[in-house]
Structure 1
Amino acid sequence: MSERRDTRRLIVRLGLAGAAVVHLWWGLWAYAAPHHFFGTFPGFGQRWTAGYPPYNEHLVVDLGATFLTLGVLLAVPAVRYRRAVARLALAGATVFGTLHLAFHAGHRGVLSGPDWIAGLVPLVVGVLLPVVLWVAAPPD
C-alpha cells in the first residue's frame, strides 16, 4: 500500500473517530439528561436548542438516540476500516446533517440573528465533513 493511501486512510479514520466522539457525547448527554441538554446545548453560554421551544422530553431523548446511533456507525470504520462501511456511515451522517441543516436554515425559532447564524456553522460542517471524508476514503 502506498504511503499516500496510508496517510489518506489515517486522515479519514481520524475524521470518523472525531465525528463519532462528538455524536456519542451529544447523544449520551441528550439521552441521559434531556432537560439539561435542551436548556444548555451547546454550552459555553449558548442555548441553541432552547431556542426552539417548547421542551419535549420524548423528542430530546429520540435525538439523543439518533446521535448515539450515528456515533456507533461512525466509530466502527474508525476502529476497523473498511471503505464500504465508512462510506455507508458517512452517507447516513450526510443525510442526517443535510436534513438537520435544512430545517434550521428555514426556522430561526426564537434565536437572534447572530445566535441563529452561529448555530448554522456547525450544521454546515456536519454536512461538509462527511462529504469530504466520503470522497477521500481510500480503498481497503
Structure 2
Amino acid sequence: MVRGGLALLGVLHLSWGVPAVLAPRWFFDNFPGFGLSWTAGYPPYNSHLMTDVGGAFLTLGAMLLAAAWLDDRRVTAVVLGGLLIFSTVHLVFHLAHAGTLTSADLLASRTVLLFGVLGPGALLMLDRHPRA
C-alpha cells in the first residue's frame, strides 16, 4: 500500500511539474484544470516562479517514484518527510492568504492542500508498522 501511494504521489507531482516547466503561463492560468484556475488566483504571473515550482514538483515526483522503486524504509521516510515539509508550508501559506479566489474555490483548494499533508503523513505512519 505504501509503495502504491508513493507511486501515485510521484506520478501526480510529475503531472504538475511537466506543464509548469514546459508551459508556465498555461500552468498559471489553468491549474488545477477541470475549469478551475486556482494558481491564477494569486497574481501577478511570474514565469520564473512557475518554472521553479515546476522544478520542485518534478524533483518531488522523481524522489517519490524512486522511493516506491527502492522500497527502503529509510528512503521512504526521508522522501515523505521532505514532501510533508513542502506540503505543510504550502498549506500554511494558503490558510493565511486567500488571493482572489471565491469562497468555494478557496475551500476546495485548502481541502486539497490539507489532503496533501494528510496523505504523506498517513503513508509515513503505515510504513512504521512491521512488514509481512
TM-score bracket for this pair, using the shorter chain length: over 0.9
Structure 1 residues 76-91: aligned runs within 5 Å: 76-91=66-81
Structure 1 residues 19-30: aligned runs within 5 Å: 19-30=9-20
Q: Deviations over 1:22-45 (max 9, x none)?
A: 001101110111000000000101
Query: Could you say what the CA RMSD is over the residues aligned between the two structures, in angstroms?
Result: 1.0
> 1:110 aligned to 93, 100, 110, which one?
100
SS at match of 2:54: helix
Runs of 4+ in 1 over 3 A off after TM superposition: none
Task: Supply the distance in 2 between the matched residues of 1:74 and 1:139 (Cα, whole angstroms).
Answer: 21
Task: Supply the distance in 2 between the matched residues of 1:36 and 1:68 (Cα, whole angstroms).
Answer: 17
Q: With the length of structure 1 as denominator, give the TM-score of the two structures.
A: 0.90
Tell me, which stretches of 5 or more residues in structure 2 are unaligned?
none
Asked if 1:53 is matched to 2:43, the reply is: yes
- In the alignment, which residue of structure 1 is the partner of 2:52? 62
Asked if 1:128 is matched to 2:118, the reply is: yes
**Structure 1 residue 139: deviation in Å?**
5.5
**1:49 partner letter:** T
Q: With the length of structure 2 as denominator, give the TM-score of the two structures.
A: 0.95
- In the alignment, which residue of structure 2 is the partner of 1:31? 21
How many residue pairs get aligned? The number is 130
SS at match of 1:15: helix
**Structure 1 residue 79: deviation in Å?**
1.2
The 3 A distance-change label for structure 1 pair 139 and 82 is farther
Task: Supply the distance in 1 between the matched residues of 2:68 and 2:96 (Cα, whole angstroms).
Answer: 33
Asked if 1:15 is matched to 2:5, the reply is: yes
> 2:61 aligned to 23, 48, 71, which one?
71
SS at match of 2:91: helix
Q: Which has the larger radius of gyration?
A: 1
Does the CA-based 8 Å contact 1:94-1:131 persist in structure 2?
yes
Task: Supply the distance in 1 between the matched residues of 2:80 and 2:88 (Cα, whole angstroms).
Answer: 12
Asked if 1:42 is matched to 2:32, the reply is: yes
**1:68 partner letter:** L
